[in-house]
Structure 1
């Protein structure tokens, strides 16, 4: 006989979106359960080594993502696990936020326990029971057998819209023209890197690096990220469809996180495709690490120390919601009456089949709104999405998928569940003004604030 658990809010997925959704629901008085397939939290940021967090700010230094996300950054800073927001020396965005993933795993669990959230790790959702337009129960497989979780409200923070898909809510995948998705990347860490030598080479050969690199300030800035070594990459003739090397520094002084492999043409929701991607990604990681050690200044004594527990996934399914955020909404910095989060991260599309990256920056004050309707799927009334699987176009997903944006939509989703629980209304029928008021009390930025100068 299956074991039955009952709760007010069920969050599926323990990445940044799920952590913040569960934290918000728990802190707002809801009995909350979070289900996660791994034995740790953090999602792509820990399992796939997606590092650093980028970005909490606009290009001119205005912080537009705060709330629980900023609280976590400050808690990490207090224990020496993050330097906080620092200048991005790649130059793609204004700031990035390095962090120690091992301490983040522990802190996230501690925060959720403080909020009264019940954690079910090593648990996998494989079926959903639907009655009418509601999820009546979520079936879970784990080490202790089968579980059925009954919840008043459910949050899909899986990144892949698994809960929405299993419940029959309409979903989309990939770009509208052909369904192709952004490539996957196997990230890896290297130790023994002489970052001073890397910086010297950058200053002596600026033409080999990303044009937005802040060379005028580079002498005094700590090196936080590097994109380039284009001459070396061209000469390598590696069988990887990229045009340059990208890596970020830390958390240790001689350590970098390399984001350079590229696995294209595979479906991150297909188990056989994922299996192939894992093998291809790890083979590419070995090739890139060997190339960097042999050819790049500063890497002569470096070695590969760690690959992700899984390959990093940028794009799979997303809900087809009440509104889909569009590329023009982002680029034009559009405002919405039902705003529940803001972001300043640009459009950042890793080509599904080519070598390059398509980028477009936000105009106006440098930030755009994410409306509440993007979190609400069609057809299922007690389900809300958070993180990478909210309702957007393929192009707009290229900004909302980033971790700080996922944190912000996660906090909004969990808070919406609490507002619905208190009011007895469906998620689509709650008073959005009340939701916005609660989010503002929690430190979420929904309106323009003063510019904060960062480095």
Structure 2
């Protein structure tokens, strides 16, 4: 029987992965006039924000309230607000950061596609990169497995926003995984939503029992604030003695008025790039969801009539592979609020590393003005000349990844990677040779905050 000929698609910029970084990379490249193709394995985009229910977005601001991430990420928030699908940036009522940004994930899925269509981006959903064709130190094409067979996508520039550095790894770029010495990564979490929650009753309990909640909870302001986040219920969690290595209850309100997003399951010691480990993680994560939901309904005030309304399509992955790039952003860079001449994004989210093996969370706050720079060199892998990286798999240490992995930071690095890819294509140069001042000027034109 004759084999069907493989379809071929030609592009200027190929973006692999449709999460927050990929959306903003493709949006930036398309708006600069590059023929851009976005490849996504699911039938929708949003990555961890939609498939794994990572909600809300944290954070566009420093802990003092200064906005340090804007650009196309802020544009996305503004358009969600126009659609009444987000209240915008609201106070974080557990006090961990200054603001968080709730959004309606189903509206976000549609809006993101609309914005990409407006930018002329071609989207290929239900497609998975299964091989990479190299020409020396350059990627020539990627081959997809799709519902309609195998497809070859040829490009001049490639952007890896897969979250797991899938493209970079397949192309032969050096990669890192986990923390130094033992290669253990942050745990995975299966997130879920519950409806029927009486948030007024929850708020009243917090006001009356402040010692049972996170020490930075703005108790005195709570009567006048929308209850966006809750961290604590320490007594209830300890008494439950559930077999989950976590030390507290954590949930976020929305998108509906009686709904919360629960972030409490924890699957440790498994590798997010290993199919057997992922299979086990999905199994264990869903069992933990049922366990946690039963505990909340039976033990927490305000949850008496609550029930599960949604569970993630996949388990949430905080950390897997990341590139060993031209510069590895490290913990000192973040904590000291270091500035770089080749800054392409900033962030005010503290280092937040969920322990790979026990029930703790390492938190390190940012000194100075409360923000740090992400350098362009951290988006550039070694050995591959026409590849950039954005999002969770940029070049960082295990500790620094505890801040760069957050969605607003991924939006910002994705926007920078897509902009640089389009500029490199248009000038027929490698991403490494892109003028930093010219790139920074482009990003500022797009609303990015670099100082």
Whether TM-score is above 0.5 comes out as: yes
Question: CA–CA distance in 1 between the matches of 2:314 and 2:360?
Answer: 23
Structure 1 runs of 4+ with >4 Å offset: none
Gaps of 5+ in 2: none
Q: What's 1:368 paired with?
A: 372
Question: CA–CA distance in 2 between the matches of 1:188 and 1:59?
Answer: 27
2:315 to 311, 317, 323: 311
Q: What's 2:262 paired with?
A: 258
1:395-414 per-residue CA deviation (whole Å, 9 max, x = no partner) reads 00000000000000000000
1:142 to 143, 146, 152: 146
1:184-220 per-residue CA deviation (whole Å, 9 max, x = no partner) reads 0000000000001001110111111111111121111
Aligned residue for 2:13, secondary structure, equals: strand
Q: What's 1:425 paired with?
A: 429
Q: What's 2:185 paired with?
A: 181
1:381 to 375, 381, 385: 385
1:12 to 16, 21, 36: 16
2:203 to 180, 199, 206: 199
1:336-373 per-residue CA deviation (whole Å, 9 max, x = no partner) reads 00000000000000000010111011110111000000
Q: How does 1:289-300 map to 2 (within 5 A)?
A: 289-300=293-304
Question: CA–CA distance in 2 between the matches of 1:249 and 1:26?
Answer: 34
User: How many angstroms does 1:421 deviate by?
Assistant: 1.5
Gaps of 5+ in 1: 448-455
Q: What's 1:331 paired with?
A: 335
Q: What's 2:52 paired with?
A: 48
Q: How does 1:129-168 map to 2 (within 5 A)?
A: 129-168=133-172
Question: CA–CA distance in 2 between the matches of 1:241 and 1:417?
Answer: 42
User: How many angstroms does 1:13 deviate by?
Assistant: 0.2
Question: CA–CA distance in 2 between the matches of 1:226 and 1:415?
Answer: 37
Q: How does 1:208-227 map to 2 (within 5 A)?
A: 208-227=212-231
1:61 to 65, 82, 85: 65
Question: CA–CA distance in 2 between the matches of 1:378 and 1:226?
Answer: 42
Q: What's 2:39 paired with?
A: 35
Question: CA–CA distance in 1 between the matches of 2:306 and 2:8?
Answer: 51
1:21 and 2:13 are equivalent in the alignment: no
Question: CA–CA distance in 1 between the matches of 2:380 and 2:402?
Answer: 19
Question: CA–CA distance in 2 between the matches of 1:243 and 1:329?
Answer: 29
1:436 to 435, 440, 445: 440
User: How many angstroms does 1:137 deviate by?
Assistant: 0.9
User: How many angstroms does 1:423 deviate by?
Assistant: 1.4
1:32-77 per-residue CA deviation (whole Å, 9 max, x = no partner) reads 0000000000000000000000000001111000000000000000
Question: CA–CA distance in 2 between the matches of 1:438 and 1:419?
Answer: 9
1:405 and 2:405 are equivalent in the alignment: no
TM-score (norm 1): 0.98
Aligned residue for 2:11, secondary structure, equals: strand
1:395 to 377, 382, 399: 399
Aligned residue for 1:104, secondary structure, equals: helix
Aligned residue for 2:421, secondary structure, equals: helix
Question: CA–CA distance in 2 between the matches of 1:421 and 1:240?
Answer: 49
Aligned residue for 1:47, secondary structure, equals: coil
User: How many angstroms does 1:131 deviate by?
Assistant: 1.3
User: How many angstroms does 1:305 deviate by?
Assistant: 1.0
Q: What's 1:108 paired with?
A: 112
User: How many angstroms does 1:141 deviate by?
Assistant: 0.5
Question: CA–CA distance in 1 between the matches of 2:355 and 2:218?
Answer: 25
1:238-289 per-residue CA deviation (whole Å, 9 max, x = no partner) reads 1100011100000100000000000000000000000000010000000000
Aligned residue for 1:50, secondary structure, equals: coil
- CA RMSD in angstroms, aligned pairs only: 0.5
Aligned residue for 1:405, secondary structure, equals: helix
1:426-449 per-residue CA deviation (whole Å, 9 max, x = no partner) reads 0001111100000000000001xx
1:275 and 2:279 are equivalent in the alignment: yes
